[in-house]
Amino acid sequence: MMKKTFLFLVFLYFVFPGQLFAQSSEEIYRSANTSYENGDYERSSSLYESLLKADLVSPDIFYNLGNSYFKLRKTGKAILNYERALRLAPRDRDIRLNLKLAGSMSVDKIELPERGFMVNLILFPYDRLNVDELTAITSVLFLAIVLILIFSIFFISGRTMFFYCAGGLAGLFILFAIFLASKIHEEVFTEHAVIVSDKVDVRSGPKEDYLLQFTLHEGTKVRLVEKRQGWYEVDLSKELKGWLPEDSVEVI
């Protein structure tokens, strides 16, 4: 009887693998939410992590995982997952607020250059759109320009108007293409990480016997420059550079 039951379950798994896995994932997600609501943050964080290990990536899971770690007072892990959630949902107000709150609890206060009102206005689409959305908008603008130029061939009387429209859209296309290229460079070709250890010494080289440069604390965001022998070279600014152990950070 046991053998027949096992064979039947194997048959179901290969015939309906997606449905069974989706149902299991939904149950895990609901269980994680329930654990969080009941104050069992260790269990909720473990369940959310299991979903991510199964390649079920979403801003909600990252956000809820960040909340669980925040409740556990693991500021570095909380900021790490808020940053991951923000990449997928850059317009989400709750993610931004919680990231700001968690960042205010970090020991290290890295002052970034302030952007003026006009710069913020121009960069608003860059800050509020993810890579997929920028790609879609840039593609639509390019297609619109091509269609307008094609129509201008057949409507000679309105050709000037078509050229003006195409020129305006071309300006927008160039702007969004720059945004898209910058976003891809920032998120794909430039690695950022968050300190997840309580504190870590940053040294002048990739070994413990190198000169101590400065100390960073949990929750600080750094840019990764190079990896060598279990160490990362990190860059916070022109003045703040050095090497720290690989296991003291997690890549966003």
Mind listing the pLDDT tens digit for each residue in 60-111?
999 999 999 999 999 999 999 999 999 999 999 999 999 999 999 988 877 7
What are 178-191's pLDDT values in tens digits? 999 999 998 888 89
**Residue 63 has what pLDDT?**
97
- Asked if residue 112 is part of any domain, the answer here is no
- Asked if residue 109 is part of any domain, the answer here is no
Of 73, 104, 135, the residue at which a domain comes to its end is 104
DSSP H or E run through 123: none
Q: What is the greatest pairwise CA distance in the chain?
A: 82
Distances in Å between the alpha carbon of 194 and those of 61, 74, 133, 221? 18, 12, 26, 4
Residue 85 shares a structural domain with residue 161: no
Of 169, 189, 209, the residue at which a domain comes to its end is 189
Average pLDDT value for residue range 3-32: 60
Which of 40-55 are b and which e, b meaning 16 or more Cβ less than 10 Å from the residue's Cβ?
Answer: bbebbbebbbebeeee
Of 77, 104, 131, the residue at which a domain comes to its end is 104
Cα(first)–Cα(last) distance of the chain, in Å?
Answer: 49
What are 40-66's pLDDT values in tens digits? 999 999 999 999 998 889 999 999 999
Average pLDDT value for residue range 228-248: 91
Residue 202 shares a structural domain with residue 234: yes
Tell me the pTM.
0.82
Statement: residue 224 has pLDDT above 50: yes
Residue 200 shares a structural domain with residue 180: no
- If one counts the domains in the chain, the total is 3
Domain encompassing residue 219: 191-251
- Asked if residue 111 is part of any domain, the answer here is no
Q: Look at residues 92, 183, 234 and name the one whose alpha carbon lies nearest to residue 66.
A: 92
Residue 202 shares a structural domain with residue 179: no
**Residue 11 has what pLDDT?**
47
> Tell me, what CATH number does 31's domain have?
1.25.40.10
Residue 184 shares a structural domain with residue 198: no
Residue 7 shares a structural domain with residue 79: yes
